[in-house]
Every structure is written in C-alpha cells, then in structure tokens.
Amino acid sequence: MMKLISIGKKLSWESSELVILRLLKNQLLSIYSDTETEIDGLNKNQLIGLLKSVSNKVENIDKVMDQELNRLIKRDSDVFKDHRCSHCQSDKVYVCDPCMDIWADEVKRVAING
C-alpha cells in the first residue's frame, strides 16, 4: 500500500478500513499545518513550494481513496453472490418465479398424511 498506510499502527481489533480512514483523516488535517502558516511574508518560491506540498497530499489522499473504493466495491459486490437467482441475477430477489418453477419440478413430492 501507499506510504500513508505504513505510518499507522493497527490494533488487533481494528479493521483495515478503520485504519485507512484514520490515516486519510490525519493526512487531510495535516494540510491545515501547511495552509495556516503566515503566507504574507513568503516569497514566490516559498508559495509555490507550499502549493506543491498541499497538492502532493491531496493527490496521495485521492490515490488511497481510489484504491480503497475499488477494493470495497469488488468485495461488497460479491456479498450476495451465493444467494443470487441464476435466472434474474438480482440481489433484491433471492429466487425468481421461473427458477422456483424449475426447482419445483426437481423436488420430490412428499405426501403429507393428515
């Protein structure tokens, strides 16, 4: 992963998402330290350096967020993979009517005495 993640420590109970969100928050808040300096006395090169520092931090945050979003989308899109109806492929309907009809033909009928 990115250098951003390597600076954090993960407790045994923490998820990787929690660690990454905490580190992203810290990185985002560190931009304030760059922008809260007195800029009136800075020359052109110092201002350019300040802007590059902020830009690099934002770019790093964006990269980590994109990686995490892609990973979570891939992970979460497979949540109902084993519960999806093979006919309609919907995560809202576990078994559609055509599939139920097919399954009904495959199930042994049992007589209930009553």
Shared-domain flag, residues 90 and 70:
no
Residue labelled with tokens 């790093």: 60
The per-residue pLDDT for 75 is: 77
Same domain for 16 and 31, yes or no, is yes
For residues 96 and 109, state if they share a domain.
yes
**Alpha-carbon gap, residue 37 to 30, rounded angstroms:** 12
**102 or 46, which is more confident:** 46
pLDDT band at 9 (very low <50, low <70, confident <90, very high): low
Q: Are residues 49 and 97 in the same domain?
A: no
Structural domain that includes position 20 = 3-78
Is there a single domain that holds both residue 74 and residue 92?
A: no
- Helix (H) and strand (E) counts in the chain: 4, 0
- Residues 70, 94, single domain; the answer is no
| 58 and 43 within one domain | yes
Do 90 and 72 lie in a common domain? no
Return the percentage of the chain with pLDDT > 90, whole number.
14
CA triplet 78, 80, 86: central angle to 5 degrees?
105
Looking at the structure, do residues 9 and 44 belong to the same domain, yes or no? Answer: yes
**9 and 63 together in one domain:** yes
Q: Are residues 67 and 45 in the same domain?
A: yes
60-82 pLDDT, tens digit per residue, is 999 999 988 888 877 777 655 55
SS3 content of the chain, % helix, strand, coil (to 5): 60, 0, 40
User: Do 73 and 39 fall within a single domain?
Assistant: yes
Q: Which two tokens stand for residue 111?
A: 């007589």
**Distance, CA of 16 to CA of 110 (rounded, Å):** 50
The candidate with the shortest Cα–Cα distance to 20, out of 10, 30, 5, is 5
Q: Whole-angstrom Cα distance, residue 68 to residue 64? A: 6
